Each structure stands twice: as C-alpha cells, then as structure tokens.
Structure 1
C-alpha cells in the first residue's frame, strides 16, 4: 500500500511539469514551431523572424511588426493582428481562418495557398500581395486596398485603385 501511495504521489508531483510542456510559453523567443497559442504580443517587433509552422492560434498581435517575417504554415486561426505590419512577410500555407486582420499591412506579402476563410481584412493594405491559391470564402475585404495584388487564380493582377474587390 505504501508503495502505491508513493507512486501516486510521484505521479501527482510530475503532472504539472508534464502539463507545462504542453502549454504555450508566451516568453519563448520567435523560432520555427513556437507555441504562442492565446498569447498577448501586442506592439512587439518580430521583423525578419522565422516562425515557420508556429502555433499562433488565438494570439493577439495588435500593432505588431512582422516585416519580412517567415510565417509559412502557421496555425493562426482566430488570431487578432489589428493594424499590424506584415510587409513582405511570407504566410504561404498559413491557416488564418476566422482571424481579424483589420487595418493590417500585407504590402508585397506572400499569401500563396493561405486559408483566409471568414477572415476580416477590413481596410487592410494588400498592395502587390500574392494571393495565388488562397481560400477566401467569407473573407471581408471591405475597404481593403488590393491594387497590384495577384489574385487567387495566379494570373489576374488587380488594377490600381481596386478597393474591396479585385478589378
């Protein structure tokens, strides 16, 4: 009986350590595969960072700077990045379903095969962005600047002055 109680006690002591390993660590530096799920990173600067395959689900990145960052294959579902700067960033294959990217800047960004279903891109700057193969069902482009953007078919380039719709 004592041996069983001792084993149970040891298991209970190690449980928080094991659980902590599975939880997001908001203090982790930017790196491929980082787990920033539900972290608040408002106003932070991650220019040029490599966050390939990172878990950014439900993250808050309002007014953050991710210029030239690599965000390929990230899980950014329901992320909030209001007014953030993704100029020249690579979000190829990212899952941004249900994210709020209102007023964000994606000028020259690569959004190839990015899942933007039900994403808010209200007044976003997508000038010269590449949206080849992006999934846009239910995306809100109200007031978004699409001038020079390559549309989902990979051949159509939106004309200068395209706002809210690729013309």
Structure 2
C-alpha cells in the first residue's frame, strides 16, 4: 500500500507542474519575481521594480537611490543599512519588512502598507507617509524630521526622533 501511495504521488507531481520560482539573475524590471533572492551590497540605483515580487528578498547595504518599488510586494524583505534616497515605495506591501538603519531620505511611502515593519534607526528625513498604514511599525530612534505624516497635512518638526512631533 505504501509503495502504491508513493508511486501515485510521483506520477501526480509529473502531471501538474510546480509553480515557477524566481530566477534571481533576471534583470531589474517591473513585475520581476525576485522572491527569496539576495542582492546584498548591490547597486540598483534608479531601477524600476514596480509591482515586483520581492517577498523575503535581501537588500542589505544595497543602494536603491531613486529606485521605483511602487506596488511591490516586499513582505518580510530585508533592506538593513540600505541607501534608498528618493526611492518610490507608493502602494508597496512592506508588511514585516526590515529597514533598520536604512537611509530613506526623501522616500515616498504614499498608501504603502508598513504594518509591523522595522524602521529602527532609519533616516526618514522628508519622507512622505501620506495614507500609509503604520500599525505596529517600529520607528524607534528613526529621524523623521520634515516627514509628511499619514494624514498628508502634518509635517514632522525638528528633532522628531522615533515619532512625528
């Protein structure tokens, strides 16, 4: 009986193709699937990764200045110590993303979902959080000077460390 069951599973798996996984060597482009890929230390400045699948991807110490990640699914992605000045993350799904010590000066998070994300010690000077979801987001020690808050009206004052003052 056990041999029959194993044979059945093997034959069934050849009939139904498995889902395709990311090819981490694919070029940076909109809608690319870079799920679970590693780009630590790489320069992706100006890259258009709009609507890309970046779940569980790693961008530690990467440079993404001026990159477009609008609408990207970056659930649990890691951007630790990344340089992301002026990066567009509008409408991105950044739930549980780790942006600890990232430089996000002038980044746009309009309508982004940052629930339970880590932005500890991040530089968020002049960032735009209009319409962003921040429930459970860890902003400890982050510099939010000049950032536009979720209501789109309030601008964080000088010395807004860890919270918008």
TM-score by length of 1: 0.88
Matches within 5 A, 1:120-131: 120-131=118-129
Aligned-CA RMSD value? 1.7
Q: Aligned partners of 1:25 and 1:86: how far apart in 2? A: 24
**Corresponding position of 1:84:** 82
**Corresponding position of 1:156:** 154
Query: May I ask how many residue pairs the two structures share in their alignment?
Result: 155
* 1:89-133 C-alpha deviation (Å, 9 max, x unpaired): 100000000011100111011110010000000000000000000
Structure with greater helix percent: 1
For residue 141 of structure 2, the aligned residue among 140, 143, 162 is: 143
**Corresponding position of 2:5:** none
**What SS class does the counterpart of residue 115 from structure 1 fall into?**
coil
Say yes or no: does 1:95 pair with 2:93.
yes
Q: Aligned partners of 1:109 and 1:60: how far apart in 2? A: 19
Matches within 5 A, 1:19-98: 19=18, 22-98=20-96
The gaps in structure 2 that reach 5 residues or longer are: 1-10
Q: Aligned partners of 1:45 and 1:132: how far apart in 2? A: 28
Q: Aligned partners of 2:140 and 2:159: how far apart in 1? A: 13
Q: Aligned partners of 2:106 and 2:55: how far apart in 1? A: 24
**Corresponding position of 2:6:** none
Q: How far is 1:85 from its partner? A: 1.0
**Corresponding position of 1:5:** none
The gaps in structure 1 that reach 5 residues or longer are: 1-8
Q: Aligned partners of 1:77 and 1:125: how far apart in 2? A: 21
